[in-house]
Amino acid sequence: MAQPLHLAVALDGAGWHPAAWRTAEARPAELFTAGYWADLVREAESGTLDFVTIEDSFGREARLDAVLIAARVAPLTSRIGLVPTATVTHTEPFHISKALATLDYVSTGRAGWRVQLSARPEEAAHFGRRAVPGIQEHFDEAADFVEVVRRLWDSWEDDAEIRDAATGRFIDREKLHYIDFDGKYFSVKGPSITPRPPQGQPPVTALAHADIPYAFATGSADLVYVTPAGVDDARQIVAKVSSLPHVFADLVVFLEDSEQAARDAKARLDELAGSPYTSDASIFTGTPSQLADLLLTWQEAGLTGFRLRPGRLPADLEAITRGLVPELRQRGAFRKEYEASTLRGLLGLTRPANRYRQEAPVA
């Protein structure tokens, strides 16, 4: 019997293939409606997936704000984790912290965060505040950003709200904490305006392809997405990030009933795009059963799960939930129903203690 896998799906536009929106089945006008996103996330939830990520960027590609998409679908779903991308380069840690804490409230404990750095000059020009920093400095700043977000999440102890009628106090201010972060790139006083989120610390995730980002991920995240070329490569990468509770491999997937049909489907899209699709992640074309074989082989490298990037939406998402998931369940490698109601719970992470909590002194 295989070890159970964790499975996530990365949602982006009409799918990860740049020509996906041009196909006959695509409905490009609907990409910016709530109904489109709600349908996708409900489909993912029907397959008991751990979570969905939602791509975002300040670049030129058309996208809605990912945190707001996640918030919009939260009340329409009940179990699946919601992990929007939020960029740290041009934004305020104070805003991102309370936005994700609030996503955790509106989803009753299902929020996560995919941390993204923005290195493109075109994105910097949309803000006009700064040049793109050097890579080491950029990741150092990102680590400070995540530290501030995490401190702000802890800046209220869980029982800070007391509503004590006798003294007229709504909060016990001894249980609110200034975070007093004073770093090289910015300083933030705190506390947050938003109380500690239901999960305490929503899971922080990051995509990494090289040593500097691996170090960032192991220092700042709970889960890292990596892009191995094969099982041996996966083993080498896992060794570098093994201190993390979760290492997921990213794969772009085109799924059909036969291997040939999957290849043909991708080739048709390549033709529409005018060039073959390439990706930072490995590209899989084949049947759900073949994909199950591959995932279970790669799992032996020490991966705890996979984040699948559907080449086409909703087609490849449906092939995951209706083809791959039953296949994995049959092999005892994937849950048959949700076993927890929070994202941390699904990932087997306990609710962390608050860093500012001081235990009462023993008399």
Min dist CB 83 to other proteins, Å, is 14
Does 171 engage in binding with other proteins (CB under 8 A)?
A: yes
Q: Is 87 annotated as a binding residue?
A: no
CB 338 within 8 A of CB 48: yes
Distances (CA, A) of 67 to 53, 121, 142, 245: 10, 23, 18, 24
Does 24 engage in binding with other proteins (CB under 8 A)?
A: no
* Binds other proteins (CB under 8 A): choice among 9, 49, 69, 328: 69
Min dist CB 15 to other proteins, Å, is 13
Dihedral of CA 109/115/121/124: which sign?
positive
Closest to 236 measured CA to CA, from 245, 222, 226, 223: 226
- With vertex at residue 87, the alpha carbon angle to CA 83 and CA 92, rounded to the nearest 5 degrees, is 110
Judged by CB under 8 A, the chain residues 91 through 110 that form the site for other proteins are: 91-92, 94-95, 98-99, 101-103, 105-106, 108
Beta strand spans in the chain (E): 6-11, 51-54, 81-87, 113-116, 161-164, 169-171, 181-182, 187-188, 204-207, 223-226, 246-255, 282-286, 305-310
Distances (CA, A) of 44 to 40, 113, 127, 343: 6, 18, 34, 14
If the CB atoms of residues 142 and 294 are measured against other proteins, the closer one turns out to be 142
* Binds other proteins (CB under 8 A): choice among 90, 209, 322, 331: 90
- What values do phi and psi take at 246, rounded to 5? -135, 130
Q: Is 85 annotated as a binding residue?
A: yes
* Binds other proteins (CB under 8 A): choice among 12, 15, 19, 21: 21
Q: Compose the 114-153 pattern: x for residues touching other proteins by CB under 8 A, - for all others.
A: --------xx-xxxxx------------------------
Min dist CB 236 to other proteins, Å, is 36
CB 37 within 8 A of CB 287: no
CA distance 309 to 17: 9
Q: Compose the 176-215 pattern: x for residues touching other proteins by CB under 8 A, - for all others.
A: x--------xxxxxxx-xxx--------------------
The dihedral region occupied by 362, where left means phi > 0, alpha psi between -120 and 50, and beta the remainder, is beta
* Binds other proteins (CB under 8 A): choice among 20, 41, 67, 315: 67
Using CB under 8 A, list all residues that contact other proteins.
Answer: 21, 28-29, 31-34, 37-38, 57-65, 67-69, 71-76, 90-92, 94-95, 98-99, 101-103, 105-106, 108, 122-123, 125-129, 156, 161, 163, 165, 167-173, 176, 185-191, 193-195
- What residue numbers does the annotated binding site for FMN cover? 56, 85
